Every structure is written in structure tokens, then in C-alpha cells.
Amino acid sequence: MLTLYPDRCIHAMSRSSSPAARAASGDTVCFHTLDCFSGQLTREDQLLGGLDWDTINPATGPLYVEGAEAGDVLKVEILSIETASQGVMVDGPGEGAVGPQLAEERTKVLQIQDGVVRFSDRLSFPIRPMIGVIGVAPAAEDIPTNTPGAHGGNMDCTRIGAGATLYLPVNVPGALLAMGDLHAIMGDGEVGVCGVEVAGVVTVRVTALKACALPTPFLVMDDAFMTICSAETADEAGDSAILAMHTFLTGELGMDPHEANMLMSVCGDLRVCQVVDPEKTFRLEMPIRVAQAHGYTFR
């Protein structure tokens, strides 16, 4: 199996990036990733102010997928995510909604054992590993890995985990897929600026799809399918996710526009992914049985 290591990583999604490796469409690929701090924080006396910010949010890759051409869709099946045994969190003045009330920077190191992260002496949580940064090269200007957009990127969607399939646009030959910023667990919104940031290993299957009309980024799970959209404001991101889902329901499922709109109010859940990045990210989730009832099968 092809394996990529973080000695080849990028800090901006770019059409000019040199591929770290090449894979055939349908190949299984393993990505070893650093945490979002590039491993700089391993002790609680190491603080935000001492970070080298040029190394933040490394994304392992990019991977060139043979046969992927502009206008295609890259199907990324997330087969497994393994996390390191130690994670880290930070906060401080000016960081997030609570930041103005904080007087000092704080780093918290958390141990992960047997699928459980220990938050404190009183609280432990089963891990829910997810990929914070996953995306392809954009069509035009470079986009930093800490920023989400139509290309994917730092979407911080808690549903992008093992068993999910993510569909991304192909803007350049080979797509140039890269990923990183794993979280052992994170709440929707990432309101405290970070989740349990952790290094790890992600195994995916990549397939280039021709003539695929999904409104990307698009995520499919066993129980739901969803549109994911990012914008400068939360209102714009939410509206974009709704409109993208309406486009799917009418264009792919053949629903009447009014019926599709009403259906989204009946069983569509608009959820926040993150509100702490340069762009805000929202998703609209629909039950998988909606697609099944219309005889639609995701490729």
C-alpha cells in the first residue's frame, strides 16, 4: 500500500505544489499526519506564544491521483483513522469567543488509551477521530491549509471520520489531495479554538469520478448525506449549505423545488462545523433514506 509521511507536507493548497506521491484511481493510500502544531507542543509549559506559526496546520501530501482531470469529482473513502496516544489543546487571550475573558495562555496535554481520552480527573470521553484538514488544490489562488473553502481544506467537520465518504472537486490534473489536523474528539463548532489535536494515520481509498454532479464538498455516511459549505460569515455558510442541498435534491433526485424546500424543513439538520477559522463552515444533513426512497445510489 502506498504510504505518505509528513516529511512531505504543505501549508497551502496550491495547483503548483509538487506531488509527494502518485496513485492510480481506486488505490488505497495511507497518510501519516502531524498534529496541527507540527508536534511543537508536548508539555503544558509550552504555550501558544512560543509557536513557530509558519509550521501550523501541516497537511501531508499532496497526492496526485492518476486520471483525475479538472471537472471530475474525487471520491475519498475514509477507511480508518488511528490516533497517537497523546493529544494537546490550547487557549488564550483573544482566541475564540471566550478569549477576551482569558488573562493567560494555557496548554493542556491529554492522554489517550484504549479508545478513551482523559480530559480531567473527573471526565473521560470515548474518542471520535476526525480529519480537520482535507482538501484538493483550488482552481486559482493558493489557499492556506488553515482556511476552508470550495476545495475542502480546514472544514473541521466532525462527521469526516472513518466510514464516511467525502467527495471533493477536481480543479487541476491529479486533484492534489492533502490532509492533516486530526482530532481525537471535537465538538461541533470547535468553539474553544481547537479540539484534542493529535497526530495519526489515515487510510483512504481514492477514486476519480467522471460526469459526477454532486455539489462538492459532499459527505456520505451510513445514516446521512450532507453538503458542506464555507463562507466569510455564518449566515452565508449556512445559506450556501442549504442551497447546495436544494440543488442536489432537485437536480439528482428529481424533486419538485417546493417539495425539496419543505423536505429540508422536515428532516434536514443545519449544523455548524466550525466558527474559528478565517471562513465559517456549516453542513446540512439529510437522512440517507431520502436518497434511498428516490432510488438514488451514491457512486
pLDDT digits (tens, 9 = 90+) for 140-171: 999 999 999 999 999 999 999 999 999 999 99
pLDDT of residue 39: 97
- State mean pLDDT over 33-38: 98
How far, in Å, CA of 160 to CA of 221, rounded?
9
Q: What is the CATH number of the domain that holds 99?
A: 2.60.120.580
Domain count, the chain: 1
pLDDT digits (tens, 9 = 90+) for 269-280: 999 999 999 999
pLDDT of residue 252: 98
Asked whether residue 151 is domain-assigned, the answer is no
pLDDT of residue 91: 94
pLDDT of residue 182: 98
Q: Does position 6 have pLDDT exceeding 90, yes or no?
A: yes
Tell me whether strands 28-33 and 2-4 are parallel, antiparallel or unpaired. parallel
pLDDT of residue 206: 98
The DSSP secondary structure of 67-82, one letter per residue, reads: T--TT-EEEEEEEEEE
Asked whether residue 240 is domain-assigned, the answer is no
- State mean pLDDT over 11-33: 98
Mean pLDDT (the chain) is 97
Asked whether residue 198 is domain-assigned, the answer is yes
- State mean pLDDT over 115-133: 98
Q: Does position 110 have pLDDT exceeding 90, yes or no?
A: yes
Asked whether residue 271 is domain-assigned, the answer is no
Asked whether residue 221 is domain-assigned, the answer is no
Would the pTM count as exceeding 0.75?
yes
293: left (phi over 0), alpha (psi -120 to 50) or beta: alpha
User: For 129, how many CA atoms within 13 A lie in the half-sphere containing its CB?
Assistant: 25
- C-alpha cell recorded at residue 260: 425539496
User: Would you place residue 228 in the very low, low, confident or very high pLDDT band (cuts 50, 70, 90)?
Assistant: very high
Q: Does position 16 have pLDDT exceeding 90, yes or no?
A: yes
pLDDT of residue 94: 87
Asked whether residue 40 is domain-assigned, the answer is yes
In the three-class reduction of DSSP (H, G, I as helix; E, B as strand; rest coil), residue 136 is classed as coil
| Residue written as grid cell 465538538 | 187
Provide the domain limits for residue 114: 2-13+20-143+170-209
Q: Does position 15 have pLDDT exceeding 90, yes or no?
A: yes
Asked whether residue 70 is domain-assigned, the answer is yes
- State mean pLDDT over 20-46: 97
Quickly list H helices, the chain: 234-251, 257-267, 288-293
Asked whether residue 197 is domain-assigned, the answer is yes
pLDDT of residue 184: 98
pLDDT of residue 293: 98
Measured CA to CA in angstroms, residue 199 lies from 79, 246, 252 at distances of 17, 37, 38
